C-alpha cells in the first residue's frame, strides 16, 4: 500500500493581546518549555520571543509580541512599533482575550490596529477554566462583530483545553511551506536572552509593585568552568558561571532588590538558577549584580545596550 506524501504546512504567527491574558502561558504550553516569561506584572515580555512548534506535517513559528497599547514613554513607543511591524511580517495573528474580563479600551486599541493589517486573525478566548460554560456566549457576543475573525477558539492555556484543536486548525490554514527551523529548535533566541528574561521574571515576581517595569537584566558573561575533583556520579565537576547585572532606575529600587542583608537578591538568584539549570542542562553558578542607571528607559543608547535594538 502506498501512502501519498502529506503536504507540509508552515508559517509565522504573532500572538497579541492585553497584558496578562495568557500569551506567554499559551506559548509555553505549546512549546513545552519555559521560553517566554510569565508573571502577573503587565508587559514583562519586551522582545519578540519565538517559540517553534514542529510536527511531522507542520511548523508554526510563534512570536510573542511585546504588546500593543497606547504608548507613554520612548520605551513604550519602541515596543508598540516593534509589535506592529511584526504583524506585517507574519502569516496569521492570534488575538487573545481573557474570558474573565469585559472588552475594554486596551482590547479596542489592538482591534483597531488589527483592522489595518490584512492577515487572518484568530480570536482566542483564554482562561475558560475560570468561567461557567454558560458565560462563554456573552463573552463571544462582545467580540464577534469587532473584526472579521478567521476562527474563534475558547481555550485554557493553563490547563490545555482546546489547545490541540486550535493548533490543528491553525496549521491546516497555514500555507504549504518549508520547515524553517530544525525540529529540535524551540526558540531562535540566544540562551543569554532567555537567561536574562528568567532573572527579570524573578525580580518582578518577588518585588511585585515595589519595582516597576524599569528593570532590565544584562547577562555579562556565560562561561563553562571546571572545578577540582569529580562529581559524586563520576562526571567532571563542571558548571556554567553566569554573571548578570540587574539595572534599575533609582537607588531606592536597588535597595529593594538587594534586600536586608542581601536576602532578596539571594532569593532572586536561587529561583532563577532553578529555572536556568534545566534550560541549559548544566549546573549553574549565578552571580548577580545590581546597578542604577537613571532614566535608562528614555535613553536611546541605554535601550540599545540592554537589547532593545531598533
Ligand atoms: P501575558 O502577559 O499575556 O503573557 O500573560 P501570562 O502568560 O504571563 O499570564 C498571566 C497570568 O495569567 C499568569 O498568572 C498565568 O498563570 C495566568 N493564566 C494564563 N493562562 C491561563 C488560563 O488559561 N487559565 C488561568 N486560570 N490562568 C491563566
Ligand atoms: K505577563
Ligand atoms: Mg507575556
pLDDT for 172 equals 94
> Which residues 6+ apart lie within 8 Å of 49 measured at CB?
24, 27, 35, 36, 63, 64, 187, 189, 197
pLDDT for 249 equals 85
Secondary-structure class of domain 9-173 per CATH: alpha beta
d(CA 115, CA 174): 20
Among 211, 209, 291, 205, smallest CA distance to 246 is for 291
The minimum-distance atom of ligand 1 relative to the CA of 159 is: 23
Q: Tell me the average confidence (pLDDT) per consecutive run of 10 residues in the chain, 310 residues long.
A: 71 89 88 62 53 89 77 76 82 96 92 91 98 94 96 97 96 92 70 85 86 81 78 75 91 92 96 86 89 73 55
Ligand 1 and 129: CB distance under 6 A: yes
Ligand nearest to the CA of 36: 3
pLDDT for 199 equals 94
| CATH 1.10.645.10 for the 191-305 domain, yes or no | no
Cα–chain center distance at 278: 18
Ligand 1 and 157: CB distance under 6 A: yes
Ligand 1 and 156: CB distance under 6 A: yes
Ligand 1 and 19: CB distance under 6 A: yes
Ligand 1 and 47: CB distance under 6 A: no
Ligand 1 and 98: CB distance under 6 A: no
Q: Whose CA is nearest to atom 8 of ligand 1?
A: 38
Could you list which residues have their CB under 5 Å from ion ligand 2? 20, 44
pLDDT for 4 equals 55
pLDDT for 37 equals 58
Ligand 1 and 28: CB distance under 6 A: no
Ligand nearest to the CA of 99: 1
Ligand 1 and 245: CB distance under 6 A: no
Ligand nearest to the CA of 48: 3
pLDDT for 39 equals 55
d(CA 247, CA 212): 12
Cα 291 to ligand 1 centre (Å): 30
Give the domain ranges of the chain: 9-173, 191-305
Amino acid at each position: 500500500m502506498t501512502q501519498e506524501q502529506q503536504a507540509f504546512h508552515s508559517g509565522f504567527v504573532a500572538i497579541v493581546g492585553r497584558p496578562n491574558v495568557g500569551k506567554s502561558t499559551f506559548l509555553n504550553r505549546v512549546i513545552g518549555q519555559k521560553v517566554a516569561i510569565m508573571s502577573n506584572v503587565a508587559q514583562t515580555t519586551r522582545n519578540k520571543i519565538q517559540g517553534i512548534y514542529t510536527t511531522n506535517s507542520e511548523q508554526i513559528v510563534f512570536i510573542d509580541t511585546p504588546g500593543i497599547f497606547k504608548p507613554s514613554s520612548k520605551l513604550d513607543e519602541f515596543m508598540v512599533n516593534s509589535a506592529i511591524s511584526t504583524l506585517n511580517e507574519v502569516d496569521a495573528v492570534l488575538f487573545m482575550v481573557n474570558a474573565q474580563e469585559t472588552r475594554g479600551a486596551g482590547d479596542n486599541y489592538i482591534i483597531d490596529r488589527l483592522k489595518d493589517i490584512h492577515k487572518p486573525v484568530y480570536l482566542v478566548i483564554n482562561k475558560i477554566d475560570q468561567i461557567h460554560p454558560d458565560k462563554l456566549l456573552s463573552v463571544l457576543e462582545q467580540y464577534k462583530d469587532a473584526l472579521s475573525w478567521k476562527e474563534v477558539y475558547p481555550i485554557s492555556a493553563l490547563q490545555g483545553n482546546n489547545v490541540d484543536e486550535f493548533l490543528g486548525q491553525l496549521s491546516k490554514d497555514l500555507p504549504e511551506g518549508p520547515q524553517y527551523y530544525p525540529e529540535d529548535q524551540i526558540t531562535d533566541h540566544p540562551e543569554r536572552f532567555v537567561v536574562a528574561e528568567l532573572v527579570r521574571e524573578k525580580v518582578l515576581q518577588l518585588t511585585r509593585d515595589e519595582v516597576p517595569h524599569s528593570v532590565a537584566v544584562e547577562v555579562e558573561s556565560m562561561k563553562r568552568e571546571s572545578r577540582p575533583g569529580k562529581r559524586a556520579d563520576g562526571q567532571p565537576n563542571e558548571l556554567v558561571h553566569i554573571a548578570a547585572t540587574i539595572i534599575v532606575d533609582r537607588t531606592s529600587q536597588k535597595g529593594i532588590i538587594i534586600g536586608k542583608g542581601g536576602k532578596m537578591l539571594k532569593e532572586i538568584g536561587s529561583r532563577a538558577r532553578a529555572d536556568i539549570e534545566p534550560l541549559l542542562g548544566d549546573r549553574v553558578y549565578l552571580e548577580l549584580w545590581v546597578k542604577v542607571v537613571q532614566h535608562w528607559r528614555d535613553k536611546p543608547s541605554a535601550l540599545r545596550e540592554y537589547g532593545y535594538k531598533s
